[in-house]
């Protein structure tokens, strides 16, 4: 359901992002209030995202070395997203709604076909990995038919914390927080928040087990990953 007042914490965070279509309707939108998606400033914001995403998705890899192409992709991604950390790579096609409402940390990897409806903020931590065709939806609608006739909608933020693995064809719905170290199995529909170090499967996604924390794994001398380098470079 939509909120009835602005979210100061979300608004303050959004002020640090690049390319936001700032106006009163934008503040309502990211706060989870009902808002008008046809406001001219928001229309321009979505048009900007379409243009930048088109360029990103159609970069010709034959026009340079791998290093040159990766550098250009990183530059373009930084212009498309609100904020992105070093070492993050998103395969094409990538389909954001605004783009500017997406924050991604360091050393993340998202496979082909990522779709993000970033009506509100999408906050992704470090070292998050995603399989193909993951869909992240902050956008929501009331069940009221009249609300659709009036063409109003809302959005709630989504948070994916550090070190999560999101399997292929997963759908993440508005307002969800996926805690650190979670694994979400392929095809799951995440309708509710998941506690850290959970493995969740199904539609709707349900926690089927809890795994060891990073601290517990590092303390286990028998852990096969313990002495591996942080990143393996080929």
Active site residues: 141
- Determine the Cα–Cα distance for residues 194 and 187; give it in Å rounded to an integer: 16
Nearest to residue 28, comparing CAs of 16, 42, 48, 40? 42
The number of helices, as runs of H, and strands, as runs of E, in the chain is 6, 19
Query: Burial letters for 188-224: b for 16+ Cβ neighbours within 10 Å, e otherwise?
Result: bebeeebebbbbbbeeebeeeeeeeeeeeeeeeeeee
**Residue 22: exposure state from Cβ atoms within 10 A (0-12, 13-18, ≥19):** middle
CA–CA distance, 116 with 93 (Å, rounded to integer): 12
- DSSP state, residue 63: G
Nearest-10 crossing angle of helices 40-57, 66-80: 170
The radius of gyration of the chain from alpha carbons, rounded to an integer in Å, stands at 19
| Residue 171 dihedral angles phi and psi, to the nearest 5° | -115, 130
Closest to 194 measured CA to CA, from 211, 179, 210, 209: 179
Q: Map tokens 């602005």 to a residue.
A: 6
């Amino acid at each position: 359901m939509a909120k009835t007042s602005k979210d100061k914490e979300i608004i303050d965070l959004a002020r640090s992002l690049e390319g936001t279509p700032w106006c009163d309707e934008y503040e309502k939108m990211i706060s989870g209030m009902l808002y008008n998606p046809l406001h001219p400033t928001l229309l321009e914001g979505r048009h900007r995202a379409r243009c930048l995403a088109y360029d990103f998705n159609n970069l010709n890899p034959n026009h340079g070395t791998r290093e040159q192409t990766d550098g250009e992709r990183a530059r373009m991604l930084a212009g498309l997203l609100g904020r992105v950390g070093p070492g993050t790579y998103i395969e094409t096609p990538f389909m954001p709604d605004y783009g500017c409402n997406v924050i991604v940390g360091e050393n993340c990897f998202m496979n082909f076909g990522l779709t993000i409806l970033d009506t509100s903020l999408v906050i992704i931590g470090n070292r998050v990995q995603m399989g193909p065709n993951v869909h992240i939806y902050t956008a929501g609608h009331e069940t009221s038919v009249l609300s659709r006739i009036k063409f109003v909608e809302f959005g709630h933020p989504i948070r994916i914390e550090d070190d999560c693995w999101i399997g292929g064809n997963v759908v993440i719905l508005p307002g969800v927080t996926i805690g650190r170290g979670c694994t979400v199995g392929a095809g799951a529909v995440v309708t509710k928040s998941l506690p850290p170090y959970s493995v969740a499967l199904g539609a709707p996604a349900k926690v089927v087990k809890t795994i060891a924390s990073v601290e517990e794994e590092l303390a286990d001398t028998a852990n096969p990953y313990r002495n591996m380098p942080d990143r393996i470079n080929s």
